[in-house]
Chain A
Amino acid sequence: MLVKDYMLQHPIMIEPHKRLAEARALLVENEIYYLPVVGDGKRFLGMITPPRLAIPPERMASLDVWEISNYLANLTVEKVMLKARDLPTIGPNATLEQASHLMTKTKIGGLAVLDGQIVLGLITDNHLLVELNNLLGAFEPGWRVTVRIKGKRGDLLRLIRAVTDRGWTIMALGNVRTPKKPDDWDVVLKVVGCTREELVDAIAQLDGQVLRDIRETASYAYVKP
């Protein structure tokens, strides 16, 4: 899963000499949070985010009424944007994990994807959440089961075989070290092709593996052939 395959290509962008009012209109009308600022030839110069639109109160306090309108009229994107040199960016061949790590580390939820200095796309925390959903098969109809297994060699394989050997299908799979129990693993499977009872029964037969949770998603109703 590389950034280039999951980023938003051709994001809406703005040029540095545009008035801030235009940037605000783009953010509000299109309901977006990150607006890359690009110069000649899609060169990355900075980013506008909603907080940048707020004018600091101390700045306003020092101006009289006439100066405020003049100040606002001359406010360009260039003057308020976050500068490129202060922003984290990512390359198209980075992994999604690297992107998410960069986002959590810098607390900036939108990264410009750059090829050299040229903007290729934009990847945001929202994209990562969508892919988390897709990764766990949130939109696939089926049984979503969470099984806690020991981190021993072959445990995961036994679980998978218990499903596939019976001719059922695994639509999605995710496994993660159990929070606060680092020796155990929680495995989330999306299984289709069986009834709830059959699945519960199959997992119960596995020694040392515990069914933590089972629920149907995307209105899955299995009809026996």
Chain B
Amino acid sequence: MRRSEDIANLPVVKVNNLGIAYETSAGDVLAVRDVSFEIFRGEALGIVGESGCGKSTVAFGMVNYLGRNGKIAHGSIAFQGQSLVGRSPEELRRLRGDQIAMVYQDPMTSLNPVLRIGTQMAEVLITHRGMAKDEARERCVTMLRKVNMPDPELVLQKYPHQISGGQQQRVVIAMAMLNNPALLVMDEPTTALDVTVEATVLDLVDDLRREFDTAIMFISHNLGVIARVCDRVAVMYAGEVVEIASVQELFANPRHPYTQGLIRCVPRLGRSKASSVLYPIPGRVPSPDNQPAGCTFEPRCAYAHESCRAKRVPLRQFQPNHNVRCLFAEEIDASQWTPTEPMTPLVQTSRDAEPILDVDSLKTYYRQASSSPLSLFGLAKPRYLKAVDDVSFSLPKGITLGVVGESGCGKSTLIKTIIGLEELSGGKIEFMSVDLGVKVNKRDMATIRELQMVFQNPNATMNPSYPIGRQLERPLRRFKIVPPSEIRAEVVRLLRAVKLDEHYYDRLPNQLSGGEKQRVGIARAFAGRPDLVLCDEPVSALDVSVQAAVLNLLAEIQQQQGTTLLMIAHDLSVVRFFSDMIAVMYLGQIVEIGPAEAIYAPPYHPYTESLLAAVPIPDPTVEQAHVRLSGNVPSPLDPPSGCRFHTRCPRRHLLPDDGTLCTTTVPPWQDVGDGHRIFCHIPLDQLRAFEPAVKMAQE
């Protein structure tokens, strides 16, 4: 037992009753109200909530980055005992450089694309500390080593675009830590990263916090990430903190209905749509200029009473170190909750149905321009980027196949080739006995109708100047689904099917929220009653409460129409929840395919294991194996010989001679049974003996 509290541990930051307003033509609009919290040395405070809840505004407000029309309306921010409100811009600039550092979602917004990394990193030390060039450089190398950057000297010579996204984020974190800041503000620092890279960056944040005793304000929409790195969590809703407690307490005993709702609407790893239901939170976040007079969550709350509407609810103590902004916190127990409308888990689809899609040795290569002078005369040897290389699977009717893998593994190219947006370079795709070997413009109308797609970003797929009704009419007319006189009725039926009403017929896309737009996207894909729908990250751009509603909707329509779905998603919990079968892709190849429940327990491919060990799980009691992948995904232009995963495989040493076999020979497909196959040299018995990557506490 070690104690040091005898020495007064003062909060690094103390925010009290903070209000941030934006000046608009209609007067000041309070985007953040009555926010109070403190962060101590070496502590990470998570701030979680849906988009538009004011998380980032608080972060920007702390360093007065609010822009011209933003201002601190009331309250105080004390940093190291001194007030930050009312400081001159020059003082704030110095503080930001010396004692406060920030890391944002996209590392490229913090890096200058035309300067070498060494130059921009050293600049921090030269400007803020007046350090000599050589010494500054040496410091940069040491710091890059601390953030586990391979070959730091070389990285200093490079430009930002020459290193991967995960490495860029490491450089930004290293830059932030160079001046040994007392406070580090991280705004969604891992949202743009792959799950494996995310895991290593989160490990890094945890290490740095311990070593430098830095106070961290960690903003994220992802409950799993928060559960992994934070000590305490503040849940924000509509510009207010509605609950604040330690991570363990908040996940075990959430007391605000919004927190409970958030936890209920994320799929837990290991749950499937047949065993559990996601409960979306009805309604949406009120806009800052149109907030209810009473409790801000009251319009969406299942427990709302008359007294909730009367006046604003203050944040009050529920238990020591657990504050909540709800009048009935004592009465509403998350474990006693019952859904307002009964929802039943979906019926598991049989995997023995007739195959609807057969993909055999599919190859999609992109020809690369050669840098050799011979290429001018057409004499250079052509080089190919093998985006999809020798992929085979067959998809029974009515089931959902989830495809997972890091970015660049070829999952998007795979579905683009199936739908005909990319030309296949080899192999065969057969869809209900029709050859799909041609691009979409050469396919007949019936085939196009049977194959539809739901895209990640609904904004990008809708014509902003056409009303919703007209956009939904288009597939109906083109595919001649219904006679022209019945088109409007059919559109209304489709809108109802995706839980939107008739009023949406004449609305324009910009009048819809992200979730509503995605519903329209789904309605459009299902308009022609297709047999196969390909979904490319259909929910990753949506907030968790909306994500739950969209997933439920997709599952429901799929069940009604018996549609087969092929879904790409980077979130392994979502894929596990939604899919009957899962394929794991690495560098253009499938390395493991099988029933969803089989993929999530040993035996599995070492790559699957590392993906599972990396998923952030919204439950601090879950134990995860510490398996981290080193290095980057190799280039698909020149994939490694033998097993493509051998350069990063953490389990290679299990084979004799440290896995020489993996480097020379292509691995065999090992059949585990029930359609579960693993593409690996390691014998099945050894794969079976792996400790499970994720251990649930109660199960």
Contact = CB atoms under 8 A, between A and B. Distances in A.
Do A and B make up one complex? yes
Interface of A: 8-10, 12-13, 22, 26, 29-32, 40-43, 118, 120, 124, 126-127, 129-130, 133-134, 139-140
Contacts, number: 68
Contact of A10 (B1, B7, B41, B130): B41
A31 B179 CA distance: 26
B81 A126 contact: no
B10 interface: yes
Contacts of A40: 94, 128, 130
B84 to A, nearest CB: 14
B129 A12 contact: no
A10 B98 contact: no
A31 B8 contact: yes
A19 to B, nearest CB: 12
Nearest to B215: A10
B80 to A, nearest CB: 5
Secondary structure at the B interface, as helix, strand, loop or mixed, is: loop
Given A9-B213, A12-B81, A134 B3 contact: yes
B591 interface: no
Interface string B77-119: 0001110000000000010011100000000000000000000
B99 A139 contact: no
B214 interface: yes
A124 B7 CA distance: 10
Interface in B50-64: none
B80 A10 contact: yes
A84 to B, nearest CB: 16
A217 B10 CA distance: 28
28 contacts: A8-B7, A9-B180, A9-B182, A9-B213, A9-B214, A10-B12, A10-B180, A10-B214, A10-B215, A12-B80, A12-B81, A26-B81, A26-B82, A29-B81, A32-B8, A40-B128, A41-B98, A42-B98, A42-B99, A42-B129, A118-B129, A129-B6, A130-B3, A130-B4, A130-B6, A134-B2, A134-B4, A139-B1
Contact-size category for B: 20 to 34
A9 B10 contact: no
Nearest to B180: A120
Contacts of B215: 10
Nearest to A29: B81
B6 A126 contact: yes
A7 to B, nearest CB: 9
Given A8-B41, A22-B82, 19 more contacts: A8-B7, A9-B41, A10-B182, A10-B213, A10-B214, A26-B81, A32-B8, A40-B94, A41-B97, A41-B179, A42-B98, A42-B99, A42-B180, A43-B129, A127-B7, A129-B6, A130-B6, A133-B3, A134-B4
A120 B180 CA distance: 8
A198 B10 CA distance: 44
B608 to A, nearest CB: 40
Contacts of B10: 12, 30
Contacts of A134: 2-4
Interface string B117-136: 00000000000111000000
Contacts of A43: 129-130
A114 to B, nearest CB: 12
A129 B128 CA distance: 35
Nearest to B125: A41
Nearest to A120: B180
Contacts of B41: 8-10
B212 interface: yes
Given A10-B214, A30-B81, A126-B7, A41 B130 contact: yes
Nearest to A171: B1
Interface string B15-42: 0000000000000000000000000010
Closest 9 CB pairs of A and B: A10-B182, A9-B213, A41-B129, A41-B128, A12-B80, A139-B1, A12-B81, A139-B3, A30-B81
A10 B81 contact: no
B482 to A, nearest CB: 68
B191 to A, nearest CB: 27
Nearest to A35: B81
Interface string B530-542: 0000000000000
Contacts of A13: 80
A126 B179 CA distance: 27
Interface in B116-161: 128-130
Nearest to B42: A9
A136 to B, nearest CB: 12
Contacts of B212: 9
Contacts of A130: 3-4, 6-7
A215 to B, nearest CB: 18
A213 B121 CA distance: 58
A225 to B, nearest CB: 22
A139 B2 contact: yes
A140 B181 CA distance: 33
Nearest to A18: B82
Nearest to B124: A41
Nearest to B182: A10
Interface in B478-499: none
Contacts of A139: 1-3
Interface in B363-421: none
Residue from B128, B180, B213, B215 whose CB has the most chain A CB atoms within 10 Å: B180
A3 to B, nearest CB: 14
Contacts of A42: 98-99, 129, 179-180
Nearest to B128: A41
A26 B182 CA distance: 17
Contacts of A22: 82
Contacts of B4: 130, 134
A133 B4 CA distance: 10
A42 B179 CA distance: 9
